[in-house]
Amino acid sequence: MSSSPTTTRSSTAGARSRGANDGTFVVELTALFFLLFHFGDMINCFADRELDAVYKTSLSEAVYGLGTRNVVAQMAITVVAAVVLAGHVAWQTGRPEIVGLVVFGLALGAQYSVGPLRLKARGLWQVLCLWAVIFVGPMLLVVRTVGDAVAWPVVALVGAYGALQQGIILVNTAEDLPEDRAANLRTSAVALGLRGCLRLATSMVGIFGAAVVVLFAWMARRGGRDVALAVLPLCIAWGWVTWEIARIGSRVKGADEAAAIKAMRPRARRMPLWITATAWTSLWAAAWVGHAWSRP
């Protein structure tokens, strides 16, 4: 008896999905992520090459050293390579929406740095754009690629984790306020002011960090895992980072802008450590929870 076209298509998609999930496409997915972030870095450096000539000379020198035509060509090659890789991963998994996610991510990443939107210079849109481009988009891409479904707890976890990390990044945005204002860039720090930006950073880290802890604890309990072992390292890292950022806010309170920025910079240099601490402890929680995190 011959099989129907629908059955054949379903079997083919299932075979592709099983083939994708056995790890054969890990190299391609890793390369795809490299290309996406590489494109975002390149177009940001290219767009800011004149500004960086004053404040971040190494980035500007890299663009002019390579040549603007060369950089544009590299960006074009990167876009083509990313879309081709996305197409192959989509074919392997039987999920064509992966190509759409990649194309949208490339477009949004470009509009962070260049016109017509140039979201980095549009106040709080900068925060939302970075939240989507750096955290939510890539994490949902992985979930859609390797998971069976995008369950609501995963969407909530991805959104909360991205907001936690973006709150940490806001400290760096606040530190760059004088340079951004001088360059006529209306970043979130320029729009909110130094203290407003630090208050937003503290609130995002505190509220969304708590949400990440609660979600992981709920998933651990639901999966029959030890809740304390799953979330205790994350609780320690999140509490430390929240305290550090709150301390920065208290140190700059009442000081003029120049003195406040000078006072915050030594502590703000720990931002990479804050991101790393919350990232690794979140990974620990996800690994401890196991597959229970992905069930609807």
The structural domains of the chain, ordered by start, are: 12-123 (no CATH), 151-296 (1.20.120)
Identify the residue whose tokens are 């004053």.
Answer: 54
Backbone angles phi, psi at 164, to 5 degrees: -60, -50
Where does the pLDDT of residue 148 fall: very low under 50, low under 70, confident under 90, or very high at 90 and above?
low
Structure confidence by residue, pLDDT tens digits, 52-81: 666 667 777 777 778 888 888 998 999 999
Q: What is the mean pLDDT of residues 197-208?
A: 94
Which residue, 246, 241, 245, 247, is CA-closest to 275? 241
89 touches 145 (CB < 8 A): yes
149 touches 141 (CB < 8 A): no
Average predicted confidence (pLDDT) for the chain: 83
Structure confidence by residue, pLDDT tens digits, 181-202: 887 889 898 999 988 999 999 9
Amino acid at 176: D
Environment class of residue 240 by beta-carbon count within 10 Å: exposed (0-12), middle (13-18) or buried (19+)? middle
